[in-house]
Amino acid sequence: MKKTLMAILCAWVSATSFALAGAEQEMLEADRAFAAMAAEKGAPAAFAAFAAEDVRMFPGGSQPYAGRDQMIEEFSDWPEGAVLEWSPVEAVAAPGGDFGFTWGRYIYTSRNEAGEENVGHGKYVSVWRREAAGAWKFVADIGNANPDPAAPE
Amino acid sequence: MKKTLMAILCAWVSATSFALAGAEQEMLEADRAFAAMAAEKGAPAAFAAFAAEDVRMFPGGSQPYAGRDQMIEEFSDWPEGAVLEWSPVEAVAAPGGDFGFTWGRYIYTSRNEAGEENVGHGKYVSVWRREAAGAWKFVADIGNANPDPAAPE
């Protein structure tokens, strides 16, 4: 009887760990797909494709807001030629395997009216939820500045 | 048979919604307790009390780092007299009820060497996990700037 209980417990712990590792892998893949879409089709397309309907957004220097529709409107003034390079680093999943966050670094490159390039370095946290249909969508997104990397000597 | 299945399904959906609402209430209470401790004992004490051992920290203008021990070391140079007012706004829970995030606003007030007050406004996202012992600990913390509120006319 004790052995049976132990076997059940071990199976449950293994299943939980497996669900957690699986969720982390899936979230990282979603975040990498976001990064690839941002590179190919631009950041506004990537944000629209991966945001949950009830997403909360926390743009630096602006007030937070909620909703994918509002987000798409906010991104409608994305500067022409601006590029967001998104580099996912790690995912951390909920024990239940249906929620978690990824974090990584980004480089935002834009040009001013004189054509001068402006490069900003930062990091981000995206909170993800597995939707009923199985796809991962982000429910929150926030970032802030990193120091610029040291110039090569 | 169909009725029984429907009853089971309804009970399950109710239980899930209840768990979700309960988790959101608990996370908000944890975040408010964090705010109260930051007001009474200072931000370093509050961060130490509510951080998970494996917390990921994302300080603005610095590189991210991991671990509660490292966090406590980083907070050891918290400026004397600096005050963090933390105002939780909302919690969003995982369907499983064991994970989620809170967000809110903060006001950081410090004084420079000449004694002049410096006030910064911002928002934050804290990701929380229910630990095995039942307490909620935050596993990620990140914030960025909000515009200063308009001066009263």
d(CA A68, nearest CA chain B) in Å: 16
- Report pLDDT for A12: 64
Write down the CATH number for the domain with range B2-145. 3.10.450.50
Asked if A107 is an interface residue toward chain B (Cβ–Cβ < 8 A), one would say no
Q: Do A147 and B103 touch (CB under 8 A)?
A: no
Asked if B101 is an interface residue toward chain A (Cβ–Cβ < 8 A), one would say yes
- Report pLDDT for A133: 87
Q: Which run of H or E residues covers position B38?
A: helix B2-41
Asked if B88 is an interface residue toward chain A (Cβ–Cβ < 8 A), one would say no
**Torsion angle defined by CA atoms of residues A131, A135, A136 and A137, in that order, rounded to the nearest 10 degrees:** -70
Asked if B20 is an interface residue toward chain A (Cβ–Cβ < 8 A), one would say no
| Residue-wise pLDDT tens digits, A107-152 | 999 998 888 999 999 999 999 999 988 899 999 999 999 998 875 5
- Report pLDDT for B4: 75
Interface test with A, best of B62, B92, B98 (most A CBs within 10 A): B92
> Sorting pLDDT into bands at 50, 70 and 90, what band is A20?
confident
Interface of A with B in 23-52 (CB under 8 A): none
Q: Domain coordinates of chain A in residue numbers?
A: 2-145
> Sorting pLDDT into bands at 50, 70 and 90, what band is A4?
confident
Q: Do A103 and B62 touch (CB under 8 A)?
A: no
* Three-state DSSP state, B105: strand
Asked if A62 is an interface residue toward chain B (Cβ–Cβ < 8 A), one would say yes
| Residue-wise pLDDT tens digits, A45-84 | 999 999 999 999 999 999 999 999 999 999 999 998 999 9
The residues, ordered by sequence, that sit 6+ positions from A42 with a Cβ below 8 Å of its Cβ are A78, A84
pTM above threshold 0.80: yes
Interface test with B, best of A92, A98, A130 (most B CBs within 10 A): A92
The pLDDT of A81-109, averaged and rounded, is 96
Contacts of residue A103 in chain B, CB cutoff 8 Å?
56, 58, 64, 140
Q: Which strands form A83-93's sheet, in the order they lie side by side? A: A65-66, A51-58, A136-145, A117-130, A99-111, A83-93
User: CA nearest B55 in A: which residue?
Assistant: A92
Contacts of residue B125 in chain A, CB cutoff 8 Å?
58, 125, 127, 140, 142
Could you count the other beta carbons within 10 Å of the beta carbon of residue B6?
10
Q: Do A61 and B146 touch (CB under 8 A)?
A: yes
Name the amino acid, one letter, at B99. F
User: CA nearest A122 in B: which residue?
Assistant: B61
The pLDDT of B121-143, averaged and rounded, is 96
Asked if A19 is an interface residue toward chain B (Cβ–Cβ < 8 A), one would say no
pLDDT over 80 at A15, yes or no: no
Instruction: Report chain A's terminal Cα–Cα distance, integer Å.
Output: 68
